[in-house]
Amino acid sequence: MKDIVSQKIRQGRILNALSLQELADAIGVSKQMISKYEKGISIPSSKLLIQLAKALKVRVDYFFEPSRVELGEVNFRKRSSFPAKKINALKENIKLQLSNYLEVENILKINNSFINPLNKKKIDKLEDVEIIVRHLRNEWEIGFDPIHNIIQLLEDNEIKVIEIDEPQNDFDGLAAIVNDKYPVIVVNKNFSVERKRFTLLHELGHLLLDLPERDIKFEEQVCNRFASEFLFPKSLVLKEFGNGRKAISFKELIEVQRKYGISIRAIVYRLKECNILSDNKVAEFYRKINFNQSLKQNIDAQRFNTPEFSNRFEQLVYRAYSQELISTSKTASLLNIKVNEVLESKTM
């Protein structure tokens, strides 16, 4: 038990991006004492555990739950300003949320095995993406209508989605396979809904595709094309805008944004990819944005009304609770809420 407590104190500290000194100051002990707790040399008293729980924003029973997921090396897109402390916090966040998710699925005996529907299809050129996206939509039986909730779609297909709060927008997203069997996509929850949807699908491309060993630029181009094609397939681009156009009205762009949940910037670039607008026209569009702040704000406004969210984990927890497979305390622990809130939810 001492080993579990020491491990969870360290994980909780990293999860909150706190140094030893910062955590020590928060609970009124020395930095050396926090180090002893994390090494298992000493164990905090019940009173200090309560203070630690408050400082780390967890329930006390968090310290007695062993971690079920060991996360290996993760490579993801980040801005240069994203510090190592936040990277480590992100990894702990993934471990915690995925561990809870898998625990509930196992309690409910839900098959959480994942099979790549693309079987790591190889990409040699950007033009291959259209065929691959068509294949994936068929495999997932979603046809070619607009998709209203990308997160729900991913989780329905055994891909876990984790949203993190990074208000400075220093983090975009990442995709990883944990323990060689559990696919996870992480996205910044503070993005506009259109940017979040695009990022989720960009990371899905990294997750599912067999990309050739070229430079990172080509890999990013492929994943951007994958996201664009998935959100707004070429056949629908042609249906909405027709063939070669000399001009596009702003009203057309807004209506397509509202219908497909794709940003106006991405729509315009999509028109270039589908040879509906010339390179010069698209370059002119971006020049106008750069020199007109009011136009830029209008272009970047969020207009897709269906929010991107998933309450699947919460539903599974309450399902296990209502079937008396987990206790009230365990339910509260998994959802990180108060026991009273759990009791109030039970209506029948």
Residues 72-84 as b or e (16 or more Cβ within 10 Å = b): eebebbbeeebee
What's the pLDDT tens digit per position in 295-321?
999 999 999 988 888 788 999 999 999
Q: State the chain's maximal CA–CA distance in angstroms.
A: 73
Question: What is the SS3 assignment for 171?
Answer: strand
Residue 115 pLDDT more than 80?
yes
**Alpha carbons 33 and 13: distance in angstroms, whole number:** 14
Report residue 255's pLDDT band, with 50, 70 and 90 as the boundaries.
Answer: very high
Report residue 71's pLDDT band, with 50, 70 and 90 as the boundaries.
Answer: low
Residue 52 pLDDT more than 70?
yes
Residue 346 pLDDT more than 80?
no
Residue 149 pLDDT more than 90?
yes
Q: Domains of the chain, with CATH numbers? A: 1-66 (1.10.260.40), 128-299 (1.10.10.2910), 312-345 (no CATH)
pLDDT averaged over the chain? 88
Q: What residues have CB less than 8 Å from 214, skipping those under 6 apart?
A: none
Rounded to the nearest 10 degrees, what angle do helices 216-231 and 193-208 cross at? 120
Q: Which pair of tokens denotes residue 206?
A: 């990294």
Q: What is the pLDDT of residue 81?
A: 66
> Which amino acid, residue 50?
I
Residue 76 pLDDT more than 80?
no
What's the pLDDT tens digit per position in 259-286?
999 999 999 999 999 999 999 999 999 9
More confident position, 216 or 21: 21
Q: What is the pLDDT of residue 79?
A: 58
Q: What is the pLDDT of residue 73?
A: 58
Residue 214 pLDDT more than 70?
no
